[in-house]
Amino acid sequence: MTEEILFAFGLTLFAGLATGIGSVLAFFTSRTNTKFLSVALGFSAGVMIYVSMIEIFVKAKDALVSAMGVQLGNWATVGGFFAGIVLIALIDKFIPKQGNPHELKKVEDMNPSAKPANDAALLKMGTFTALAIGIHNFPEGIATFTSAIQDPALGVAIAIAIAIHNIPEGIAVSVPVYFATGDKKKAFKLSFLSGLSEPIGALAAYLFLMPFLNDIMFGVIFAAVAGIMVFISLDELLPAAKKYDESHLAIYGLVAGMAVMAVSLLLFI
């Protein structure tokens, strides 16, 4: 059991610290590969939607029906699913607009010909964005950790999908902070720290949820995880993918993500 817990923590840490990858990309590339990001974000959404509806929701329903009976178990599953959607929607609603992590940035916004200035408003925006991403990543950490504990292969798929979606969020933190201060280290540090809330979410799941984990608790959490991931995909990933590239690349990525996830799940039967 100890190895499973360490593995789950490792996956969550990997997913969260992908914000740092976005920061590094911002510093060491001259242009944003929008086509790649569009496909990657679509792919991430495909993985999340498919695994949520085909695997996680079904496992939640099986656990709750087994513990509560057919009628009550089905109602509890649907309730948990929409509770997850409401939770992540409320988090989004109360994040200050100036710190919106979904406000896309490009590497070109840090054009070296444009001199960074000591701009307090830009620095505040970057700091708010880091804080917003930190709040937002907390439930994602719970989702990754609980999934990995229940099914390591499922945990890997979710961690990869969340890691991909964290890359542009790292850029969103780094660009305004660097432009405001001219300090790459400060921009990277804030971006890196914003991803640490993911393993903190995992730690909270381990300390406060694991001791009470039974079929009902597991079913409700998994149903909520499915709702959270579907909302993230529809509200963040797909719109972001379409903004990065106006063609059908995002949808091709989405279908590819679903196909890869479907084959992966079949291989593990």
Give the containing element (helix H, strand E) for 91.
Answer: helix 70-93
Q: Which tens digits make up the pLDDT trace of 17-51?
A: 888 888 887 666 555 567 777 888 888 889 889 98
Q: What is the pLDDT of residue 74?
A: 97
**The pLDDT of residue 60:** 93
User: How confident is the model over 148-193, as pLDDT tens digits?
Assistant: 888 888 888 888 888 887 887 787 788 778 777 778 888 888 888 8
- Structural domains counted in the chain: 1
pLDDT of res. 112: 47
pLDDT at residue 256 is higher than 90: yes
Q: Which of 219, 223, 226 is nearest to 51 (CA)?
A: 226
pLDDT given for residue 75 in this prediction:
97
Q: In degrees, to the nearest 5, what angle opens at C-alpha 157 toward C-alphas 138 and 42?
A: 85
CA 206 to chain centre: 19
Q: Can you tell me the distance from the alpha carbon of 60 to that of 222, in angstroms, rounded to the nearest whole number?
A: 5
Identify the residue with better confidence: 219 or 171. Answer: 219
The pTM score is: 0.76
Write out the residue range of the structural domain in which residue 47 sits. 2-267
Q: Tell me the two tokens of residue 121.
A: 């408003």
Task: Look at residue 105 in the predicted model and tell me its pLDDT.
Answer: 52
Helix pair angle (2-16, 120-150), 10° resolution: 150
Q: Kindly indicate the confidence band of residue 97, based on its pLDDT and cuts at 50, 70 and 90.
A: low
The string of DSSP codes covering 31-63 is S--HHHHHHHHHHHHHHHHHIIIIIIHHHHHHH
Task: Check whether 121 has a pLDDT greater than 80.
Answer: no
Beta carbons of 172 and 104 less than 8 angstroms apart:
yes
Span 221-230, average pLDDT: 91
Backbone angles phi, psi at 151, to 5 degrees: -150, 100
Residue 204 burial (CB count, 10 A): 16
> 57-92, pLDDT tens digit by residue?
999 999 999 999 999 999 999 999 999 999 988 887
- Helices 120-150 and 197-204: angle between axes, nearest 10 degrees: 40
